[in-house]
Amino acid sequence: MLEMTLNGLEIQVEPGTTLLEAANFYGIEIPTLCYDAGLSPIGACRLCLVEIGSPDRSRLVSACTFPAQKGLEIRTHSKRVINARKLLIEMYLATCPSSKTIQDLASKHHVTRVRFKQKHDDCILCGLCVRICEEQMQAKAIEFIGRGHELRISTFFDKKSEDCRHCGACMYICPVCQARCQGPQEKDAVCNACLNLEPPCLEEFEDAMCYMDPCVACEQGHEPRKGCSQRKEGS
Amino acid sequence: MPSLQSRINTAADLFRLQETLQQRASSNNRYIAVCGDTGCSAWGSKSVKDVFRDCLEQKGLAGQVGMKFTGCLGLCESGPVVIICPEQIFYQKVQEEDVEEIIDKTVTRGEIIPRLLYQDVLSGETYTYMNEIPFYQKQKRLLMGNNLKIDPNSIEDYLALGGYSATARALTEMTPLEIIDEVKFSKLRGRGGAGFSAGDKWKECYDAVSDRKYIICNADEGDPGAFMDRSLLEGNPHSVLEGLIIGGFAVGAREGMIYVRAEYPTAVVKIKHALHQAEELGLLGENIFGSGFDFQVSISIGAGAFVSGETSALIASIEGRAGEPRQKPPRLAQRGLWGRPTVVNNVESLANIPVILREGEEYRRTGTDKSRGTKIFSLVGKVVNTGLVEVPLGITIREIIEDIGGGIKGGRSFKAVQTGGPSGGCLPEHLLDTPTDFEELNAVGSMMGSGGMIVMDDETCMVDVARYFLRFLQDESCGKCFSCREGINRLLEIIDDIVHGLGTPGHIDLLRELSVVVKDSTLCGLGQTSANPVLSTLQYFEEEYRAHIKDKKCPAGVCKALIHFSIDLEKCTGCGVCKKKCPEEAISGEKKEIHEIDPERCSKCGICLDTCTFDAVLKC
């Protein structure tokens, strides 16, 4: 067993455990977008950053790929970590606002503004689809293509894949196309509704109106409130 | 007496052969060295060399006067460089038509041709001999000095200078641990940029237990403005090969590999040739020097990704995967190429090894306490003498730029120097006295990097410089980490806004905040340093950013959206030259009447400014 310090707590883990697994085991929640317990970790989304080392010589590493080491000092929620995570989430919102997963992360981390230009890239290149296709479905029908800002996911040579069995695993695991969020409009990246304990409806109503689906307030024909997730199609 | 064809079986064989070759070289020491490195080749040195050869043959001098088409001789600015040895008479900018005169006057009669001599721009003084030239005086050319005496295609030249003695000593007289200790004692630090102790790196790999280990020479040099590794491989490939063999012996690797970028075809040809020669002589292969040590070297050619210079990405690339860095630990000494312990050394680090084993004393006296030896910098940009300079570590940047580089070109004033490639930083005038030392450079927000040194004058816009490097990194990031891929995109987006006059006051803080996060949260060295161009220009040139944002002005007159051309009503004579030259037909006006620029049509190319002889075109 390896002894480490996790947020000041003395812990013991098996060799070969990653820092993310260790933290999860001890009940500490670390946000991720590209991690799945059944797939090999690649450390692409960088949200699972944790701070390691003594405070004067520390650095941030991705918890999903970093192996447990004897005597390691880990801080999962230090100011440095949270600042980095929040800015990353802000960038995610600016890149892909239609993902409910990302909107929920923003809500949880109290990210309430986006200072970057709004894009609607959809794909965040987390690579979950590539890995589930290869590792679980044994198909290897899709892959990362290109490099840097031209990186994208596609079939080989962009041709219709003969290896694809149309199993839909890639769509199932995608944090962006799964549960597409109807919340924010083009100009407005932050929705901040679903996981927000202060419902945006309060601006207009005495009580929260958003427990129902579809949202009563929107159904009644009121102007949808800023940040309300339950907007009507085309409104 | 061993002939060159026969195999060298023992160290004694080598020394005998070296002696023979030395005698041959000293009995016939009159030769003409023509620089054949890329800079001089671009100036036409290849045809100059051919004309020399033909001319010597015609005049029946071919037997008495030798020819060497050498590696880089340093002063790339003055190419093609020709040096008449043994006197080392230095001729610059030699053209084909000068060849006959050189042979007739200098080679045959010893007369100097003044018009071909190097002239110092500032003092106007001319210099006859190579060693007198100020460019060379402050240098200490431990690695590059032999380039003058070596034809890169000739292992004989290298052996005549005592080549492979260090290998013989290492393999027959020393144990791996003794070699590692000697390298540690020399305090050689990785020349690829990180500055990690080479001895410690070797020790780690030596300690790893495995039946198979690898040593890799990293020749994936890709920084804009850096070309020292290429010049070493092209100019003195055997010195790198020697370092690789010694390293292999020290860490216990029987296989070496040179990972060279595909953009260096000449280097690939030269190394292949060198490998072939070394194999023929038994300096590579089985039982080298009868020591029982077997060593093979192969060449692996990159696929054009800058990030493959990062060691774990390099290994992924050799294994046939996409060049993407991976999480370390496990470190390469634990799990490297094909899962085996691997050590990766930069070209220049390896070229240092034979020097350390041969002239350890001298080596340890060079440099600073923490960083010993010399470092090759590629001095480029707005400096008088561009080229490769090799200096003892610890010399100040000012000495390199002013004494060796000869100051700023065209009488303009110095603004900044960018060191360390795209990941480095820009240093302003008041930091020019910073010594070239790993720690000192890091402390002022730049880095040693692989040794690129780009000098900029007052006509350079620092925001535009940051933009240039970000663009480079945007293309070259592997794209795996969101923080690097999207972080660079967003940094660039903001800077693009700033140079187009769309900057807002919040942008500077946002740039800083984002830069810190990109630096903190990315996996590999490329990503972690990708915000450095922004951070260091912000640190030292914030007022320039402010001028772009607040006053919508580019002080250096570079950012096109923020400059305007107009015509000085008092100076314009109506000659019509600018009107004729303007590619956009944006200038109107009758002959002998004052002209006018239509801002709508003007593409701000600046041709009118360059062509006007009356200084009547204004840029503001």
- Contact present, A153 and A130 (Cβ < 8 Å): yes
- Contact present, B233 and B272 (Cβ < 8 Å): no
Angle formed by the axes of helices B347-358 and B165-173, nearest 10°:
70
Question: Is A233 a residue whose pLDDT tops 50?
Answer: no
Tokens of B90: 């230095």
Domain with CATH 3.10.20.740 in chain A: 2-77
Q: How far apart are CA B508 and CA B514, in angstroms?
A: 10
Instruction: Name which residue leads in pLDDT, B11 or A122.
Output: B11
Phi, psi of B410 (to 5 degrees): 70, 20
Phi, psi of A25 (to 5 degrees): -60, -40
Q: Is B475 in Cβ contact with A84 (below 8 Å)?
A: no
**What is chain A's length?**
235
Q: How far apart are CA B457 and CA B461, in angstroms?
A: 9
Tokens of B140: 């200490």
Question: For residue range A214-226, what is the model confidence (pLDDT) as tens digits?
Answer: 455 555 555 555 5
Neighbours of A177 (CB within 10 A): 15
Question: For residue range B222-232, what is the model confidence (pLDDT) as tens digits?
Answer: 888 889 999 99
Question: Is A235 a residue whose pLDDT tops 50?
Answer: no
Question: For residue range A99-127, what is the model confidence (pLDDT) as tens digits?
Answer: 888 888 998 898 988 999 988 888 999 99
* B607: helix, strand or coil: helix
Q: Is B513 in Cβ contact with A87 (below 8 Å)?
A: yes
Among candidates B325, B331, B320, B329, which has minimal Cα distance to B310? Answer: B325
Cα angle for residues B258, B420, B229 (degrees, 5° grid):
25
Among candidates A96, A72, A71, A58, which has minimal Cα distance to A177? Answer: A96
Tokens of B214: 């690898």
Among residues of chain A, what percentage have pLDDT more than 70?
Answer: 76
Q: Closest partner residue to B479 among A49, A88, A151, by Cβ? A: A151
Question: For residue range B260-300, what is the model confidence (pLDDT) as tens digits?
Answer: 999 999 999 999 999 999 999 999 999 999 999 999 999 99
Q: How far apart are CA B301 and CA B314, in angstroms?
A: 10
Among candidates B589, B565, B566, B586, which has minimal Cα distance to B576? Answer: B589
Question: For residue range B335-374, what is the model confidence (pLDDT) as tens digits?
Answer: 999 999 999 999 999 999 999 999 888 898 999 988 899 9
Q: How far apart are CA B240 and CA B178, in angstroms?
A: 20
Q: Is A144 in Cβ contact with B329 (below 8 Å)?
A: no
Residues 6+ apart with CB under 8 A from B223: B420, B421, B422, B449, B450, B452
Please give the average per-residue pLDDT across A7-21, as a whole number. Answer: 95
Tokens of B202: 């070797």
Q: Is A148 in Cβ contact with B476 (below 8 Å)?
A: yes
**DSSP H/E element including B101:** helix B99-101
For residue B392, say if its preceding peptide bond is cis, omega within 30 degrees of 0. Answer: no
Q: Is A84 in Cβ contact with B522 (below 8 Å)?
A: no
Q: Is A67 in Cβ contact with B476 (below 8 Å)?
A: no
Q: DSSP secondary-structure letter at A124?
A: -
Q: How many CB pairs under 8 A join A and B?
A: 91
- Contact present, B470 and B495 (Cβ < 8 Å): yes
Q: Is B520 in Cβ contact with A60 (below 8 Å)?
A: yes
Q: DSSP secondary-structure letter at B104?
A: I
DSSP B377-413: EEEEESBSS-EEEEEETT-BHHIIIIIIS-SBGGG--
Q: From edge to edge, which strands make up the β-sheet containing A2-6?
A: A9-13, A2-6, A73-75, A49-52, A59-62
DSSP B229-291: HHHHHHH-HHHHHHHHHHHHHHHT-SEEEEEE-TT-HHHHHHHHHHHHHHHHTTSSEEEETTT
Q: How far apart are CA B260 and CA B272, in angstroms?
A: 11
Mode of pairing for the β-strands spanning B342-346 and B214-219: parallel
Residues of B in contact with A61 (CB under 8 A): 327
**Strongest mean pLDDT among B55-59, B511-515, B609-613:** B511-515
Instruction: Name which residue leads in pLDDT, A212 or B533.
Output: B533
Q: Is A61 in Cβ contact with B327 (below 8 Å)?
A: yes
Is the CB of residue A15 less than 8 Å away from at least one CB of chain B?
A: no
Interface test with A, best of B485, B488, B509, B528 (most A CBs within 10 A): B485
- Contact present, A47 and A31 (Cβ < 8 Å): yes
Interface of B with A (CB under 8 A): 305, 307, 322, 326-327, 329-330, 474-483, 485-490, 493, 506, 510, 513-514, 517, 520-523
Domains of chain B: 30-85+89-128 (3.40.30.10), 155-363 (3.40.50.11540), 374-457 (3.10.20.600), 462-549 (1.20.1440.230), 564-619 (3.30.70.20)
Q: How distant, in Å, are the alpha carbons of A79, A138, B188, B392 from that of B141?
A: 49, 57, 16, 9
Q: What's the confidence (pLDDT) of residue B374? A: 94
Q: How far apart are CA B490 and CA B565, in angstroms?
A: 31
CATH dotted code for A2-77: 3.10.20.740
**What is chain B's length?**
620
Domain with CATH 3.30.70.20 in chain A: 128-173
Residues 6+ apart with CB under 8 A from B82: B32, B33, B34, B35, B48, B52, B91, B92, B94, B102, B116
**In chain A, which among 110-139 make CB contacts under 8 A with chain B?**
115-117, 124-127
Class (C level, CATH) for A128-173: alpha beta
Q: What's the confidence (pLDDT) of residue A107? A: 86
**Which band of pLDDT confidence, cut at 50, 70 and 90, is reported for residue B40?**
very high
Question: For residue range B199-248, what is the model confidence (pLDDT) as tens digits?
Answer: 999 999 999 999 999 999 999 998 888 899 999 999 999 999 999 999 99
Q: How far apart are CA A120 and CA B425, in angstroms?
A: 33
Instruction: Report the amino acid identity of residue B534.
Output: V
**Mean pLDDT for chain B overall:** 93
Q: Is A83 in Cβ contact with B479 (below 8 Å)?
A: no
Is the CB of residue A57 less than 8 Å away from at least one CB of chain B?
A: no
Q: Closest partner residue to B514 among A60, A87, A126, by Cβ? A: A87
Q: DSSP secondary-structure letter at A18?
A: B
* B427: helix, strand or coil: strand
Nearest CA in chain A to B324: A147
Q: How far apart are CA B116 and CA B94, in angstroms?
A: 7
Is the CB of residue A69 less than 8 Å away from at least one CB of chain B?
A: yes
Q: Is A92 in Cβ contact with B485 (below 8 Å)?
A: no
Q: Is B482 in Cβ contact with A124 (below 8 Å)?
A: yes
ipTM: 0.89
Question: For residue range B512-568, what is the model confidence (pLDDT) as tens digits?
Answer: 999 999 999 999 999 999 999 999 999 999 999 999 999 999 999 999 999 989 999
Angle formed by the axes of helices B532-549 and B506-521, nearest 10°:
170
Interface test with A, best of B496, B502, B521, B526 (most A CBs within 10 A): B521
Q: How distant, in Å, are the alpha carbons of B181, B284, B427, B521 from that of B213?
A: 20, 17, 41, 32
Question: For residue range A26-38, what is the model confidence (pLDDT) as tens digits?
Answer: 999 999 999 999 9
Task: Report CA B24 to chain centroid distance, whole Å.
Answer: 33
Q: Is A149 in Cβ contact with B475 (below 8 Å)?
A: yes
Residues of A in contact with B521 (CB under 8 A): 46, 49, 60, 84, 88
For residue A31, say if its preceding peptide bond is cis, omega within 30 degrees of 0. Answer: no
Instruction: Name which residue leads in pLDDT, A235 or B450.
Output: B450
Q: How distant, in Å, are the alpha carbons of A137, B327, B361, B470, B482 from that of A129?
A: 10, 21, 58, 29, 16
Q: How far apart are CA B462 and CA B558, in angstroms?
A: 10
Burial B477-487 (b: 16+ CB within 10 A, else e): bbbbbbbbbbb
Residues of A in contact with B480 (CB under 8 A): 42-44, 125, 127, 151
Phi, psi of B415 (to 5 degrees): -120, -50
Q: How far apart are CA A78 and CA A90, in angstroms?
A: 18
Q: What's the confidence (pLDDT) of residue B253? A: 97
Q: How far apart are CA B468 and CA B492, in angstroms?
A: 9
Tokens of B517: 């996060």
Residues 6+ apart with CB under 8 A from B563: B554, B557, B604, B619, B620
Residues 6+ apart with CB under 8 A from B603: B583, B584, B586
Q: Is B506 in Cβ contact with A149 (below 8 Å)?
A: no
Q: Is A67 in Cβ contact with B330 (below 8 Å)?
A: yes
Burial of B389 (0-12, 13-18, 19+ CB in 10 A): buried
Question: For residue range B439-456, what is the model confidence (pLDDT) as tens digits?
Answer: 999 999 888 888 999 999
- Contact present, B592 and B573 (Cβ < 8 Å): yes
Instruction: Report the amino acid identity of residue B82.
Output: V
Paired residues of B293 in beta bridges: B288
Question: Is B301 a residue whose pLDDT tops 80?
Answer: yes
Question: For residue range B461-474, what is the model confidence (pLDDT) as tens digits?
Answer: 999 999 999 999 99
Question: For residue range B385-438, what is the model confidence (pLDDT) as tens digits?
Answer: 999 999 999 999 999 999 999 999 988 999 999 998 888 899 999 999 999 999
Q: Closest partner residue to B479 among A66, A80, A148, by Cβ? A: A148
